[in-house]
Amino acid sequence: MNAIIDNQKQRLAFRVREYLQAGAIRARFAVGYLFLEGLTPLKSEIERLESVEILIGNVVNRLTEEQVREEAATRQRGGEEWVRPQEDVAATLRDTHDRAAVETALNLRNTLEALPRTAENQALMLGLARAVAQGRLKVRVYTQGRIHAKLTLIDYPAGSSYAPGLAVVGSSNLTLGGEAYPTELNVVVSDRESVKALEDWYAKLWNVSQDFHRELFEELGQCWALA
């Protein structure tokens, strides 16, 4: 099964919700920027799923790991080669990652403050906080650059109609609110070889990303919805 999702006709989150409601047990999302309000259509599914992962990108224009390593490479200085000490490189990378987490948390705080104070949004925030506290929701920040490709991976138990899983890949940010956005297309992929390739892509980014669920929990705990 391969299908095109035109976000002009149907918002991606609603189509993803349909796939989650078909007995899904796990979901993984790479969304770039995290707009929490856009998760509202998935509120019930996030509370039901055994495991949810959200990979977000560092939206601040800072040094990326690649840039730091490039700076650490051999350079010419007075006709002699100079190599930046590895411990200095490691310290700079740690500082870059820490700064990314702090700035991402500040961006999240601003997003939470701007959320309309509706019962629906409050229920979403409470559900997210519960999922983090229970260890079912994990969030990481990819600090080595921006996440341009958007990806949803959904896993199903054996015997389900979509087992073992499917993927949705394209240009739409799942968490972006609103009903429709022009020129955004997404492709549903279900053949196992392609899904496995997308899982490998996601895992590569996830494994080098920085944990953010503690910061998410703290920001949720300070927002109006949980105050």
Residue 66 has pLDDT above 60, yes or no: no
Residue 173 has pLDDT above 50, yes or no: yes
Evaluate whether residue 109 is within a structural domain.
yes
Q: Is the pTM of this model over 0.85?
A: no
Q: Which domain holds residue 198?
A: 2-222
Contacts of 130 (CB under 8 A, 6+ apart): 47
CA–CA separation, 142 and 146 (whole Å): 7
Mean pLDDT (the chain, rounded): 81
CA–CA separation, 37 and 10 (whole Å): 17
Evaluate whether residue 123 is within a structural domain.
yes
Residue 26 has pLDDT above 80, yes or no: yes
Residue 91 has pLDDT above 70, yes or no: no
Residue 63 has pLDDT above 90, yes or no: no
Evaluate whether residue 70 is within a structural domain.
yes
Residue 16 has pLDDT above 80, yes or no: yes
Position 68 confidence tier, pLDDT thresholds 50, 70, 90 = very low
For range 70-91, the mean pLDDT: 48
**What is the total count of domains within the chain?**
1
CATH code of the domain containing 149? 3.30.870.10
Evaluate whether residue 59 is within a structural domain.
yes
Evaluate whether residue 227 is within a structural domain.
no
Tokens of 226: 């949980």
Burial (Cβ within 10 Å: 0-12, 13-18, ≥19) of residue 109: middle
How far is CA 211 from its chain centroid?
Answer: 11
